[in-house]
Homo-oligomer: A and B are copies of this chain.
Amino acid sequence: MKAPHTCSSEKMNPQTLLLILLLLPAARAFQFTRMAQYVDSHQEEYVEALRDWVAIESDSSNVLKRPDLHHMMEVVAQKLRLMGGTVELVDIGEQELPNGQILALPKVVTAQFGNDTSKHTVCVYGHVDVQPAKLEDGWNTDPYNLTEINGHLYGRGASDNKAPVLAWIHAVGAYQALHMDLPVNVKFVIEGMEETGSNGLDAMILAQRNTFFSDVDYIIISDCGWLSRRPALTYGTRGNCYFFAEVEGPKQDLHSGVYGGSVIEPMTDLIGILDSLISPSGKIQIPGIREAVAPLTDEEWKMYQDIEFDLENYKNKTGVSQLMYDNKVDLLAHMWRYPTVSIHGIEGAFSDPGTKTVIPAKVTGKFSIRQVPNMDPAVVKTQVTDYLHSVFGKRKSPNKLKVSMVIGAKPWLANTQHPLYEAGKAAVNKVFNVDPDLIREGGTIPIARTFQDVTGKSIIMIPIGGFDDGLHSQNEKMSRYNYIEGTKLFIAYLNEVSQIKKTSV
């Protein structure tokens, strides 16, 4: 029996079809509005979810917190399972610490929502490990107890990267809750070692290149932040080579009164070689490093010139009386596309309050060099190691120097003309009603480069973190506004990506 009225387009008269086509954008807008309203009305639930995640001290750099990190990965997997995703906890093996200790790496969570081959498949990457944080470092609130003050949600990992990961999960959840078909298939890769260089992830991506990643069209990463109050899309990141320089002398710490004058102190040697890395004005002194850097093009210079960036505001935000460069282009270039050396600290020396009169026996200087095109971490490792041994050799010290590179992450650069970026601009326009800035990121998202090299897929970075979120520092926060509007942005973006022609991969 045939229905009296059919809606099949084959049988529809041209007028009706035209009417429907004309109404379609309105219908889509309506859908987005409905989803946005859903997000607004569920924001307390989203904040609570973030509170639960921040409470887990998933510090990947502290081996004592490894059980918390394993727990964190289980929590992520369970959340995705409860939403009906096809979830796996992928064993990525073990790591060897500099002291020889072997430690299990946190498993990587993979998940899949939707399996429709007529749709694009996006893969959202995120991480749920965090940087170290202690109240004594100068936090105003307990770093692991999410605390809202004036619309800001303070907590370690709130912005980097727990809220963005949750926003993606909530975006998928909103489609589900409103019984709307996901416009694209969505996969997740959530790791727990990002803050220490994504140990084990490269091999896992390589291993699953022809399985989990085979049908992935695009990779989406939201592990970064805006440059100003204007939303942004990110098209490049710096890499990072992190070094330990260990100087060992006496067999144990010595009293500086009793022994001072009888031994060459490891701290004196370490301070000496660390001081040789960089000039007072910030110039890297390791031969070969600066020579490898791709020259700044006129086009790049022009692009930087056009970006919304307030030097005075940036200065106030950092709280320094003077920036390293006093013009926008030089400053952006040195944050994004030139290498820098930062000395982070010394392990093994006296670092507590007070006045210990000790000659530390073994001290490890920690510093890192941000990588940019066309640097190669393997070459940098050799350059740094050779240079430090040469500087140390001239000191004629009886102490022993050991240089090791514990992180070696490459930089990444995308083509901003790709339809992925066009879709990004459209989604930003829908939610925020402005064009995004096209920016780069001084920090490192190691997986970006790996995805590019191993899978050959295109990548976009869509940040939702604020420019003043204080990543890696005291009082890290995610503003409620960015978290909630960011969830809407992800909802809109999934829809925009579905409009990309199937050929544009």
Chain A residues close to B by CB (< 8 Å):
59, 61-63, 97, 131-132, 137-138, 195-197, 225, 237-238, 240, 242, 249-265, 267-269, 271-272, 274-275, 278, 280-282, 314, 318-325, 331, 334-335, 338, 340-347, 349-361, 366, 368, 370, 394-399, 406-407, 441-444, 470-475
Contacts and interface: CB of A to CB of B under 8 A. Distances in A.
A55 to B, nearest CB: 21
Given A132-B352, A257-B370, A398-B321, A357 B342 contact: yes
A261 B360 contact: no
Contacts of A197: 355
Contact of A472 (B253, B397, B441): B253
B340 A370 contact: no
Interface centre among A321, A356, A357, A470 (most CB of B within 10 A): A357
A444 B254 CA distance: 14
B345 A346 contact: yes
Give the number of copies in the complex: 2
A349 B346 contact: yes
13 contacts: A249-B320, A250-B320, A252-B474, A255-B473, A262-B318, A263-B318, A263-B323, A264-B282, A268-B280, A268-B341, A322-B398, A344-B350, A346-B351
A62 B352 contact: yes
Given A257-B472, A262-B318, 10 more contacts: A196-B354, A254-B472, A258-B335, A261-B331, A261-B335, A262-B334, A268-B341, A344-B358, A345-B349, A345-B356
Interface centre among A342, A395, A444 (most CB of B within 10 A): A342
Nearest to A59: B354
Interface centre among A197, A318, A355 (most CB of B within 10 A): A355
Contacts of A319: 249-252, 361
Contacts of A356: 61, 131-132, 344-345, 366, 472
Nearest to A98: B353
A462 to B, nearest CB: 17
Interface centre among A262, A274, A396 (most CB of B within 10 A): A262
Contacts of A272: 275, 280
A61 B272 CA distance: 27
Contact of A258 (B61, B261, B443): B443
A343 to B, nearest CB: 4
A398 B320 contact: yes
B345 A264 contact: no
Contacts of A350: 132, 344-345, 347, 366
Contacts of A59: 354
Contacts of A323: 262-263
